[in-house]
Amino acid sequence: RLASAIKADPQTLQRDISSNLNLDFLYVARQLPPPQALRIEALGIPGVYLKREYRTYYPAGEVTGQLIGFTNINNHGQAGLELAYDPWLTGVKGEKRVIEDRYGRIVQNVDMIRPARPGHDLVLSIDMRIQYLAYEALKAQVAAQQARSGSMVVIDIPTGEVLAMVDQPGFNPNDRSQLLPNRYRNRAVTDDFEPGSVIKPFFIAAALMSGRYNNQSIINTS
């Protein structure tokens, strides 16, 4: 009955349970939809319990997919800012000494060994209005040019703040079926890009500022 309820192969489930009898408990399924969890609870199978868990929801979805990244089932960052700042965002678990009954229920708190510490906030310079406009513009151009991929970064020149950073093809971190490496990679950060001739003005400016060259200097580039 349990295998059917969690849509698992009965033999595989039996093998997993039999090979982990030394554990205090074993996850047989995680992050189930509430209706499915209630159906499992209604079965009344001895030794089978439900544990409430939480997972991150990303309101902007695909618009900030590669930038924000996503977390795994244990809420640890796997890509994007979620991965880069995982130690900063992750809190520290608390620890206390308790007395439990034979069913594992806490009947008395004895001692607080270490208090829990919440994770830190992370504030970005991203302007969501500009982020959305950049996302729409890039998506349209990638489709129009039939390009394999594209990236766009919008920077506030006076401050250097990044106002938008988008990639295509995009992905929605709320949809786990889209978590493919070629989709969630933030190309604007990880990929090399040959700037070509647009970099030449910077070289010329650096040469003039050095004082070794002027606007009449002839440089042999052969």
Residues 6+ apart with CB under 8 A from 37: 50
pLDDT of 166: 97
Of 18, 177, 197, 210, which is the active-site residue?
197
Which CATH number does the domain 1-53 belong to among 1.10.150.770, 3.90.1150.10, 1.10.3720.10, 1.20.1250.20? 1.10.150.770
Distance between CA atoms of 134 and 151, rounded to whole angstroms?
A: 10
Query: 3-state DSSP call for residue 193?
Result: coil
Residue 68 has pLDDT above 90, yes or no: yes
Mean pLDDT, rounded, for 119-130: 96
Going from N- to C-terminal start, the domains of the chain cover 1-53, 128-195
Residue 93 has pLDDT above 80, yes or no: yes
Give the β-pairing of 95-100 and 106-114. Answer: antiparallel
Residue 179 has pLDDT above 90, yes or no: no
Distance between CA atoms of 183 and 93, rounded to whole angstroms?
A: 33
pLDDT of 157: 93
Distance between CA atoms of 165 and 174, rounded to whole angstroms?
A: 19
DSSP assignment letter at 120: P
CA 82 to chain centre: 5
Distance between CA atoms of 82 and 77, rounded to whole angstroms?
A: 4
Mean pLDDT, rounded, for 6-24: 83
Which CATH topology does 128-195 take? Beta-Lactamase (3.30.450)
Rounded to the nearest integer, the mean pLDDT of the chain is 89
Find the length of the chain.
222
- The share of the chain scoring above pLDDT 90, in percent, equals 47
Between 56 and 181, the higher pLDDT residue: 56
Query: 3-state DSSP call for residue 154?
Result: strand
Give the β-pairing of 77-79 and 70-71. Answer: antiparallel
pLDDT of 24: 78
Q: Which two tokens stand for residue 90?
A: 């992750």
Q: What region, left, alpha or beta, does residue 47 occupy, with left being phi > 0 and alpha being psi -120 to 50 degrees? A: left
Tokens 């849509």 -> residue: 7
Task: Select the highest-mean-pLDDT range: 2-16, 38-52, 120-134.
Answer: 120-134
Residue 44 has pLDDT above 80, yes or no: yes
> At 6, phi and psi to the nearest 5?
-100, 5
pLDDT tier for residue 87 given thresholds of 50, 70 and 90: very high
**125-156 pLDDT tens trace:** 999 999 999 999 999 999 999 999 999 999 99
Instruction: Look up 125 and say whether it is catalytic.
Output: no
Between 166 and 52, the higher pLDDT residue: 166
